[in-house]
Every structure is written in structure tokens, then in C-alpha cells.
Structure 1
């Protein structure tokens, strides 16, 4: 099967870019697949599952795109303020957070807002869903780290922290998580909810991504990406990735190869191959894309990816896909008891094709 993926990046210029990347032998080839004027303000966050891409913006909306049909699927209007974080859980749910302090749980079968949490007194800065889908973590401008019981739809635990954290992230196994405050990464053990170590980065951290439970990639306000051992909190490798500061990281595994994708203020998106058996060796640069834009957010869409949790629950997946294949209505509205106070939720369905660019595929430098 062809190794194929889509680099999806957003920018200050309100545009969503898609770059198709595939492998032929030992060479990675690319082509510009689409550009789309996604929002009326700069994009702030992008998330993917194996069918949809969701983008959040300073225009207070979440736009949903059907990547298999290359059409707009709809707009979610619920939040007030910039959308700050988005994360899919498999094919069933999407969580969103914003400057209004709310976290919304969206059912992706009918795109209804199932639950609204008044998560933080200030802004929600980051959220992360546990691999089991039962818990979520969030941090905000009220100097708290909050745990959410997604099964019962309630707050489970609140931890006061000394400063505002701007990133929270679960490990792949869910046994630990990290909380980022400026240039420090606190590593927590789930069982004890205690800090087991702290990673000190030279510059303010812009993005962190677990490669494995034992290895984490950290990018900050500099051209360097560092790989840290989560047990010893020591840097095991660092390499110059860009000509300007690194803004975003995204990590995924393809054919047993760990890949780190980075985007920078220099307008480039790069793919790096990580050999976890030789972590002290600088990674291989697989390919790079020049967007000539001021990039703000990054993700990777894998059309062949199937979430293992969804594979174990084929009935849920089948009903979700079936519903998405039905003809779209121009507009549907839904109200729930939880969102009456926050206002009416509108799910606006559109069917406008993304602008595609047909370019000759050529090797990337």
C-alpha cells in the first residue's frame, strides 16, 4: 500500500494549506494539493481524524472539512473568543476550548454539542484527551490544571499551579502527562498525580510531542528541536531544524517509523525520521515544503489510519461514516440543556469544494 499523507497547515493569512506527500522507494515526493481561505481571521489550531480536518480561528468559529471528498462539511458556532485548542477522539468526538473558558464536547455523528464545561475562569490554553477517552486534562489562565471525567461529564480534580501553564499533553500509554510552564516541562505520573521530574529548556517552549513514553520532542523560541528522556529529564539529542524559531510539532508513526513534522516562522514544514534505537543520532530529513506563509498551526492527515479503539467498536464507526455520507442540509440547529446558558449552537453545513492545485510531483529538497 502506498505510504500517503497530507500535511495540513494554517497561517496568519487565514489560509489552510494541504500538501500531499507520499513515498516511492527511498524517496519522498510531494505536491501542493489544496489551498482554502478557511476563516475571516488568522487560524489558531488544527486537528484531524481519519476523515475530517477541524480548524479553529480568531474569528470564533470551528470549520469542519471532509478530506475524503475535499469539501467543506460545516461550521460549529458556540464559542466566544479565539478557538485555542481542538482534539479529536477517534471518529466519535471532538473537544474544543477557547478564550471564553469553555470546553465543548462535540459528537461527530451529527455534529451536536453534547456537553459544555465551564472549564476555567480565564481562557482555556490547552487540552489533552487520555488514550482511553475517559479523561481529559486542561490548563488555562486561572493557574489551574483540571481533570475532566468525560464518562460522567463532570470535573474530577483541580490542581492549583503557581503560574499559567500553556501546554498539557498525555503520553501515548496514558501513564504520565506533561505540563509546560514557559521554559519548563513538568512530568507527572498519573497514578500519584505528582511531578516525577522537570525538563528545563533554554528558551520558552512553543510545542511538545511524545514520540514514545520514554522520549519527548520539545521546540521553543529558537531554531533547534531537542529530544528529552522523560525518565532522566536529560537532553539526548538536539539538532537545528529551521532558520527561524520552531512554532509547531506533530508526531506520528508510519510503517513502524516515528516521524516528527515541524513548522517554523521561516515558512517551512519539514518531516524528520526518528530512530528510537539510536536517539543520540540526529534524525534524517525526509522532506520539506516551503509555504511562503506565516505559519500558526500544523497537523497530519493519514487517510489510511484507523484508530485502534474505533476498530474494536466497528458499530460506532460504521454509524458515524454512514451518517456523514448522507446529503447535507443547509443548516441544522441543536440545543442541549448544558448549552442553553452559553447560547444557541449552530451547525452550518456547506458543500463548497476546496481549491485544488494540480502541480507536477517532484522530489523535495
Structure 2
């Protein structure tokens, strides 16, 4: 069984269960079915991208957020949380792991803000933010090795990234803006789509190995198996498959009128992560294909039953039918207007299942004891590291203390001199009065009778119990009325209150069209 995850314009994310896949090891010999298994109220606005692998499901929306769930084989869903780091629509995402039979370790996301963020799966920390393209990131693809990745942007560039260093290794500018981009299954080449043209380029040399022109604009792309076959969904509702070994004008297969409107997304179903899609279809590619469209329908296709020999084109030619169309194996209706799609096996990877089984068999008391021992070992290691670094720091600390002693002695002498009262014959200025009980108390200033001439005395600007919580900013002068920090005799609190009443000066955003104009009442 396989699970297909599809995002919609209406902010929802739907899950569909695929049963009875032709040639599948878990098909069970039953009739193929496409059944909706779950519905998620994912975002505040449209869902722009989805990714699924190893039980994890992620969706990116027009609300600049990424939502993450975990899907269990029994149909249960756990809401892991929300990731916020982008400042624009999250247009593309992909999970990556060193082994498809294990859980992924990274999530890579691209956004209209032009940035690519690498997230850690499990801790869900933003490990790296890379400035990728001006105007936004249209598509991204991570190599199976995890060492490099590629991205396509609104600046008409395709960038190759060094994922170890987190920087651009190479950039290529195209004549037209690339809208779709993906590494081939082997990783030796990559496929890019701009308008109606599909281009296959070598990832090592940069040479073009194939160019195919579709009859209409390409809306989505899928690849599987070897590097020879690429499947394209078109704006008119047709699906074309191109084989790099065949002439560019001759498609490997064609699904005529797969959907009444544009084909927005497609995937090759996978029910075994280790084995991958079931092969044996046209051009040596996969047997099955899943497509979704703007009218809210998900359809499952057997590619062996379509094409030039058994498809709508042959029936139309033999029977004279103009509006002939191919029939799917199964379909599910009632969904939203689909925008994106991802697929993963319903069953969790074997290594994950074994780890979960081993965890269940363990004694809770024993596990609690082991966790306590682990914390103690970590604390002991931390103390050892601290003790190992302390001897190296002691000589430096002693030198600093020896250097500070003369300065402290000089300060104490000056302080004692200031504590001596002035003689009676000098009545000018201020008299420094010493504290009665506490010798460490700072000097207090008391005014004495004398001429109008005054000496300026600088007060310590330390932060204490009676001092300000926020240090005074430079440029604020002492006012006469309040005695505190202010401008023109006004206190800092009065200025801040006036600023809040007046407003910050920033223009207020216009109300959304969905809420209408605010009333004057």
C-alpha cells in the first residue's frame, strides 16, 4: 500500500490510500482502489508544497509556515508542530535521508523570499539559511548522496549548492525562467522545465543530453527508475512520457484527457521504500502513475494500458471518435483544487519498525534507570571538561589579579582622601559626607551654604534596585522638571507615551479583500 499526500488551494492537505497496485508486493490481488484516508486543516491560506518520507509529512503554505505531522500505518496522525523561518510562500520542499529504508534526517525548503532553509528532522532546528535567488525559489532538488543540491529561481538561474559548506558551487543563467527542476534517479543528470520545453542536462559536465517540446505548457513532472523516462502533466489535461533514447517528437506514451482541466501534480506510487516503484511500464519505466488536477480528482493509471497501441489515440483513429479519453484504474473525487503531491509507503521502514518493537519490549523501570545513568554520565563528562580547562585558565586569572591589585590600592587611597572633610574656612561648593555604618557605601552629596557658584559632580550610572531598568540612551539630556532622562524638560516616559499615542509613523496596511473595508462606526 502507498499513501499519497496532496495539498490544495483551499489550505487543506488530503491523504489517499492506494490499494491493489498492479505488480505490487502488497497488492493482495484485490481491485485497485483510491480511498481518502485523512484530511488536515493545515494552513491559513493555500498549500503550496508537500513532502513525505519515512512516516513524516510536511506542508508549506502561503502563510509562510511549514506544518509537520507523523503518519502511522494504522492511520493515526501526530501533529509535530509548526516551523517558521521563511518570509514568503513556501514554494518547494524535500525530505532527505542517507537511506530510503530509514527515517529522513533533513528537510530542505525553498520560499518566495529567495532563501533555502535546511531543517534537522527530530530537533526541527534551522541549521542553515542560504540566500538563493532574487525574486524567489521556484524548485529545488537534493542529490541522493546529500552532498549537493540544486535550485531554480525567478532570476532565471539554476544554482548548484555545496551542502557541506552551505554555499553556491556553480550558477547557470537560462534564457527563460525555469519552473521545475529535479535530479534524475541516478543523480548523474537533472531535468528542468521552462514553459513547454523539457531539458536533460549532465550534472557533471553541463552538457545537454535531451530536449523535448510538449504541445502545451508543462504544469508538473515526475521521474523514476533509470534516467531515460520523464513524465509530464500538461495544461490541457494530457500526460506525456518522453524517452531520451527515442526521437524528441515521439513520446513514449500518451494519456489523452487524463483530466478535464490542467494536470497540476503527479507521482509514481511506491509501496516499498527499498524496492521503489514497480517497473515494467513503457520505456522500462514504472507501471503506475497517480495524477491530480484542479477539479479535485485523484486518478490511478496503469501505463501499460495507455499509449499509441492501446490508448485513446488508437481508439480514435480506429473508431473515428474525436473526444476519446483513457480510463483510469481507480479514482477519488471530492477533493479541493490540488496544487502539489507527494508519495510514500504506508508501512514504515523496517529499521523504524524494528526499533519501535524493541522499545515496546523493554521494561519501563529499566529504561528509566538507564536514562538516569545517562544523565549522570553526561554531568560527569561536563565536570571533567571543566576541570581540564581550569588549569589553563588559572595562570591568566592570577596575572589579571596581580595587575588589578595596584589599581585597586590607588582607588582605595583616593577614596579615603575624598572621605576627609574640608576645612571650615573653605565654604565653597559641595561637602562629601561619609556614611555612618557602611564603609563600602558610595559617597552621598549634600549641599552646604556658599556662593551661587557650583561644581559639577558626576553620578555613577549603575543599575541597581532604584536605578533604571534600561540604560539611558546617548543623546538624551537631563531635564529640569523631571530630573531624569528627557528632552526639553520632558521625561523619557512622557516622550514614549506621546509617541505611542501619535503612532510610529508607519503606514497602515490596507484591509484584505476578503474582509472588506472597515466601518467608520
Identify the TM-score tier after normalising by the shorter chain: 0.7 to 0.9
Query: Greater helix percent: which structure?
Result: 2
Q: Which consecutive segments of 4 or more residues in structure 1 shift more than 4 A?
A: 278-284
Tell me whether 1:81 sits opposite 2:88 in the alignment.
Answer: yes
Alignment correspondent of 1:354 = none
Q: Which runs of 5+ in 1 are unaligned?
A: 323-365
Contact 1:13 1:293 in 2 (8 A): yes
**Normalising to structure 1: TM-score of the pair?**
0.79
Question: 2:308 & 2:139 partners in 1: Cα distance?
Answer: 28
Contact 2:150 2:159 in 1 (8 A): yes
Q: Kindly tell me: are residues 273 and 134 of structure 1, through their superposed partners in 2, closer, same or farther at Cα, counting changes over 3 Å?
A: farther
Measure how far apart 1:205 and its partner are: 0.7
Alignment correspondent of 1:261 = 290
Q: Kindly tell me: are residues 246 and 120 of structure 1, through their superposed partners in 2, closer, same or farther at Cα, counting changes over 3 Å?
A: same
Contact 1:237 1:280 in 2 (8 A): no
Alignment correspondent of 2:244 = 230
Q: Judge which range, 15-24 or 48-57, deviates more.
A: 15-24
RMSD across aligned C-alpha pairs, in angstroms?
2.6
1:277-356 correspondence runs (5 A):
282=311, 285-304=328-347, 306=349
Q: Which runs of 5+ in 2 are unaligned?
A: 21-27, 98-103, 272-276, 280-285, 312-325, 360-521
Equivalent of residue 141 in structure 1, options 154, 161, 183:
154
Measure how far apart 1:211 and its partner are: 3.0
The count of residues paired between Structure 1 and Structure 2 equals 311
Measure how far apart 1:279 and its partner are: 8.8
Question: 2:167 & 2:309 partners in 1: Cα distance?
Answer: 43
Question: Highest relative contact order (Cα 8 Å, sep 6+), 1 or 2?
Answer: 1
1:1-365 correspondence runs (5 A):
4-23=1-20, 24-68=28-72, 69-90=76-97, 91-212=104-225, 213-232=227-246, 233=248, 234-240=250-256, 241-254=258-271, 256-257=278-279, 258=286, 259-275=288-304, 282=311, 285-304=328-347, 306=349
Question: 1:98 & 1:63 partners in 2: Cα distance?
Answer: 14
**Normalising to structure 2: TM-score of the pair?**
0.56
Q: Kindly tell me: are residues 200 and 31 of structure 1, through their superposed partners in 2, closer, same or farther at Cα, counting changes over 3 Å?
A: closer
Query: Greater strand percent: which structure?
Result: 1
Question: 1:52 & 1:88 partners in 2: Cα distance?
Answer: 9
Contact 1:273 1:284 in 2 (8 A): no
> Deviations for 1:9-51, whole angstroms, at most 9, x for unmatched residues?
1111111112223224141234332212111001111110111
Contact 2:264 2:294 in 1 (8 A): yes
Measure how far apart 1:189 and its partner are: 1.4
Contact 1:53 1:67 in 2 (8 A): yes
Q: Judge which range, 154-163 or 58-67, deviates more.
A: 154-163
> Deviations for 1:175-218, whole angstroms, at most 9, x for unmatched residues?
11111111101110123112122110111111111133111101
Measure how far apart 1:280 and its partner are: 6.0
Question: 1:6 & 1:86 partners in 2: Cα distance?
Answer: 18
Contact 1:17 1:34 in 2 (8 A): yes
Measure how far apart 1:281 and its partner are: 5.1
Measure how far apart 1:266 and its partner are: 2.1
